[in-house]
């Protein structure tokens, strides 16, 4: 496997640490008054999602992770797993529900996703940054209540409740940020 020198560390690099694949989220170069230069990094485990702070000395090397990205789509869910179709190979892969449930709140069947493979095994998926969903239920706005940022609860077609501005009505389509679950804008189609 190819290796990466500490001097080549940067955000987004994928490496193997203690047998697991990690993505580098931060890398800061530190040159103390005496001794070797240091690289302080923050790494995210691609299998477990945990964070790791690690400092490397100048000249150290890490093994590069064999990570492959592919476009895919969400197919369906059975009791314990979500299933995805790889758009390149047309193969179907499963991910355990407990590891990606938070991302799946706003995805409908057929939604496009990015699939992440390590050693040809699906390890995670990245949902789109924003989705457009229809509001299936919301209370009518109170008359005259349009002064400031007044919000109300609304249920979207995936069954998730989000806070929306008072002018949103049942049947409107809205854009939602998948990571935060927050309303962005009303979409006219």
Domain limits of the chain?
Answer: 3-64, 67-126, 130-187
pTM score: 0.76
Report which of 37, 33, 49 is spatially closest to residue 5, judged by C-alpha positions.
37
pLDDT band of residue 79 (cuts 50, 70, 90) is: confident
Arithmetic mean of pLDDT, 31-55: 90
Cα separation, 111 vs 44, whole angstroms:
25
User: What is the structure's pLDDT at 26?
Assistant: 94
What is the tens place of the pLDDT at every residue in 108-127?
A: 999 999 999 998 889 888 89
Q: What CATH topology corresponds to 67-126?
A: OB fold (Dihydrolipoamide Acetyltransferase, E2P) (2.40.50)
User: Mean pLDDT, the chain, as a whole number?
Assistant: 90
Please check whether residue 174 is in contact with residue 185, taking contact to mean a CB–CB distance below 8 angstroms: yes
Beta strands 151-156 and 130-138: pairing type? antiparallel
Whether 130-187 and 67-126 are alike in CATH topology: the answer is yes
User: What is the structure's pLDDT at 75?
Assistant: 95
Residue 24 has pLDDT above 80, yes or no: yes
pLDDT band of residue 142 (cuts 50, 70, 90) is: low
User: What is the structure's pLDDT at 83?
Assistant: 95
What is the tens place of the pLDDT at every residue in 153-180?
A: 999 999 999 999 988 899 999 999 998 9
User: What is the structure's pLDDT at 140?
Assistant: 82
Architecture of domain 3-64: Roll (2.30)
Q: What CATH topology corresponds to 130-187?
A: OB fold (Dihydrolipoamide Acetyltransferase, E2P) (2.40.50)
User: What is the structure's pLDDT at 103?
Assistant: 82
Window from 60-74, 80-94, 96-110 with minimum mean pLDDT: 96-110
User: What is the structure's pLDDT at 147?
Assistant: 58
User: What is the structure's pLDDT at 145?
Assistant: 58
Please check whether residue 90 is in contact with residue 35, taking contact to mean a CB–CB distance below 8 angstroms: no
Cα separation, 130 vs 187, whole angstroms:
12
* Number of C-beta neighbours around residue 67 at 10 A: 16
User: What is the structure's pLDDT at 163?
Assistant: 93
């Amino acid at each position: 496997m190819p290796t990466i020198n500490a001097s080549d560390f940067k955000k987004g690099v994928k490496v193997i640490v203690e047998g697991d694949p990690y993505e580098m989220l931060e890398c800061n170069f530190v040159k103390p008054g005496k001794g070797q230069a240091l690289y302080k990094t923050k790494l995210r485990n691609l299998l477990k999602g945990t964070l790791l702070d690690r400092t490397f000395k100048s000249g150290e090397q890490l093994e590069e992770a064999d990570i492959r990205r592919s476009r895919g789509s969400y197919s369906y869910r059975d009791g314990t797993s979500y299933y995805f179709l790889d758009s390149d190979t047309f193969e179907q892969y499963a991910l355990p529900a407990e590891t990606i449930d938070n991302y799946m709140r706003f995805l409908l069947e057929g939604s496009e996703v990015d699939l992440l493979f390590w050693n040809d095994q699906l390890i995670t998926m990245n949902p789109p940054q924003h989705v457009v969903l229809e509001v299936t239920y919301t209370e009518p706005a109170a008359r005259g209540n349009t002064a400031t940022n007044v919000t109300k609860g609304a249920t979207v077609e995936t069954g998730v409740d989000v806070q929306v501005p008072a002018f949103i009505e049942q049947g409107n389509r809205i854009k939602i940020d998948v990571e935060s679950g927050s309303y962005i804008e009303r979409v006219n189609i």
